[in-house]
Every structure is written in structure tokens, then in C-alpha cells.
């Protein structure tokens, strides 16, 4: 299934994209695409619905973040071998974890705002993993029992805030609009192999990022296992699994976003995002 949330910011309603690409209203069935709606049992009930009997929604409606009420937005740094190489960093021996503030979350096609004082706002297309079952001290071989779907994430980053201002990376990752997610949450049964997905990003029509989740240093199953050793993962938590090469910081010379530009990005089977860049 492809699940999404549509409508004005802060008033999104749950929806389903059927096999014909028609938006179907789920608001009479579930309160939101969040929390217990993401459990295996709840998703199985949604699979029994006859989409043809659900109310239709206007195709022109705004698409919001595909998951609501996100508790934790966990990101993985330097998780692609070819991305680590372009930054000149040694591949990590363990996953690098950092958080992105949930207030950064926005819709997949909402405007991305360059924060005040920024000179180095950058892009990062990433595979997002959505937790559907509470996970604590999970064995690697059981990790996928706790994953209910995947989505596209743009881990927008301000490199000067992240690297040059001291402290942790979170300062460069958490500005408002720095976390577009969606357009859809694609349930796990529709993704044959999360480690074999094509990933790409363009700015003003120029392709900067083109890679594959095959080059991840730590795969999805290992990440869920590993993170669960340090914190409990809850339904609706998102893990953003790292980015392939081609970020602005890695260009020679570096290239950063400017107001008026447009980003387009996507992952095979998970849909595409398109964001205009503005100024906060």
C-alpha cells in the first residue's frame, strides 16, 4: 500500500493511493497515518478495504508529511561508502547517529527555506525507514518485524551550522522545512529489497546525486538492530539512513542552495519530491 496525508498544514487527513493512482480518503477509517495505524494489525485491516468504495480526493490537494506525530527523527551519518569517500572521511566502524528536530518535518513538495545567516545550505536524498512495532534490544534477524514501511527523505543540511559552529550536527539539520518526507509511506510488503533501490537528486534540472542503497555501509536491518540497543524505537519513528555521493559539500568547488532554485529527488518505488527553495 501507499499511504499518505493530504490537506493544509496542520490539518492533514489520512489517504491511500490506489493501484490506478487515485487518492482515496481514509479519514472515516483511521484518525491519521501515525501511531497505532502503523502497526501490522492495523495495516492488515486497511489491506482488506475496497478502494473503489472509498471517497475520492482532489488530485490537486497538498500532500503533507506521510507520517504524522513523529516521535523521533533519527539520522545516520556517512552511511554510504562512496559518500564517505567524497568527503574525505574514513568509513565509520559503527553507525553515526544524530537527531533532526521533528519541527523540521514538512511535506514532500513544500517550500524549503534557507535559514537566516546561512551560507551553506545543502541537499541529501535518503531512504527513510518507518517503525511499526516497538523495538528494544532487537536482534538483527528480527529487525524487519519492526519496520512497516519506507519513504523518501530530503535531509536538508546547513553545513556551516553543522560543522563550523561547534557542538553536535543537530544545529545544521533542524531548521524549519529541513525534513521533507513522502510523498507516500510504502508498506514493507511492496519493497522487495531495501538494499537495491536507486536514489537520485537534481537541482534546477542538473543531476548531482545518483546512487543505490546497495552501497550502504550499514543496511536497514543492522540499523534497526543497532539503534534499538541505545533507545526504544516507537511506532512512527523515522530512521533516515544516509545519503549517496553528490551532495553540494562534495562538489569541487562546493555548491550550495540559493533562493529561487528547485530540487527534485526520488527513490525507485517510493515516489518523488519537488521543492522550491526560499529564504526564511
Domains and CATH numbers, the chain: 2-53 (no CATH), 73-279 (3.90.850.10)
The three-state secondary structure class of 37 is helix
**What is the spatial distance between Cα 200 and Cα 125, in angstroms, rounded to a whole number?**
7
* Distance, CA of 160 to CA of 138 (rounded, Å): 36
Q: What's the confidence (pLDDT) of residue 187?
A: 97
For the chain, 280 residues long, the average pLDDT of each consecutive 10-residue run is 97 96 96 97 96 93 98 96 76 95 98 97 98 98 97 98 92 98 97 97 98 96 98 98 95 96 98 98
Supply φ then ψ for residue 44, to 5 degrees.
Answer: -65, -35
Strands 147-154 and 125-131, bridge-based pairing: antiparallel
**Using alpha carbons only, what angle is made at residue 98 by residues 10 and 114, rounded to the nearest 5 degrees?**
55
143, 220 contact by CB (below 8 A): yes
Rounded distance between C-alpha atoms, residue 112 and residue 157, angstroms: 11
Segment holding 4, helix H or strand E: strand 2-6
End-to-end alpha-carbon separation of the chain, Å? 36
SS3 state at 107: coil
Q: Are 240 and 73 in contact (CB under 8 A)?
A: yes
Q: Is 35 in a helix, a strand, or coil?
A: helix
The number of CA neighbours under 13 Å toward the Cβ of 232 is: 4
| Residue 63, all three cell numbers | 500532500
What are 180's strand-pairing partners? 106
Amino acid at each position: 500500500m501507499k499511504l499518505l496525508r493530504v490537506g493544509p498544514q496542520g490539518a492533514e487527513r489520512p489517504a491511500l493511493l490506489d493501484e490506478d493512482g487515485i487518492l482515496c480518503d481514509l479519514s472515516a477509517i483511521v484518525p491519521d497515518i501515525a501511531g497505532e495505524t502503523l502497526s501490522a494489525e492495523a495495516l492488515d485491516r486497511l489491506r482488506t478495504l475496497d478502494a473503489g468504495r472509498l471517497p475520492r480526493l482532489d488530485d490537486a490537494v497538498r500532500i503533507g508529511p506521510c507520517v504524522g506525530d513523529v516521535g523521533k527523527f533519527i539520522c545516520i551519518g556517512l552511511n554510504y561508502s562512496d559518500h564517505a569517500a567524497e568527503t574525505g572521511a574514513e568509513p565509520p566502524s559503527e553507525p553515526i547517529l544524530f537527531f533532526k528536530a521533528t519541527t523540521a518535518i514538512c511535506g514532500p513538495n513544500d517550500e524549503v527555506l534557507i535559514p537566516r545567516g546561512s551560507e551553506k545550505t545543502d541537499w541529501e536524498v535518503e531512504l527513510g525507514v518507518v517503525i511499526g512495532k516497538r523495538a528494544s534490544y532487537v536482534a538483527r534477524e528480527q529487525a524487519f518485524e519492526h519496520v512497516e514501511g519506507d519513504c523518501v527523505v530530503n535531509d536538508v543540511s546547513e553545513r556551516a551550522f553543522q560543522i563550523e559552529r561547534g557542538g553536535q550536527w543537530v544545529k545544521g539539520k533542524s531548521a524549519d522545512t529541513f525534513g521533507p518526507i513522502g510523498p507516500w509511506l510504502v508498506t514493507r510488503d511492496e519493497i522487495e529489497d531495501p538494499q537495491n533501490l536507486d536514489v537520485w537528486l537534481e537541482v534546477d534540472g542538473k543531476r548531482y546525486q545518483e546512487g543505490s542503497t546497495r552501497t550502504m555501509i550499514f543496511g536497514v536491518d543492522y540499523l534497526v538492530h543497532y539503534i534499538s540497543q541505545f533507545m526504544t524505537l516507537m511506532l512512527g519513528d523515522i530512521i533516515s539512513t544516509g545519503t549517496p555521493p553528490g551532495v553540494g559539500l562534495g562538489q569541487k568547488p562546493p555548491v550550495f542552495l540559493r533562493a529561487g532554485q528547485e530540487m527534485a529527488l526520488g527513490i525507485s518505488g517510493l515516489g518523488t519530491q519537488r521543492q522550491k527553495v526560499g529564504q526564511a
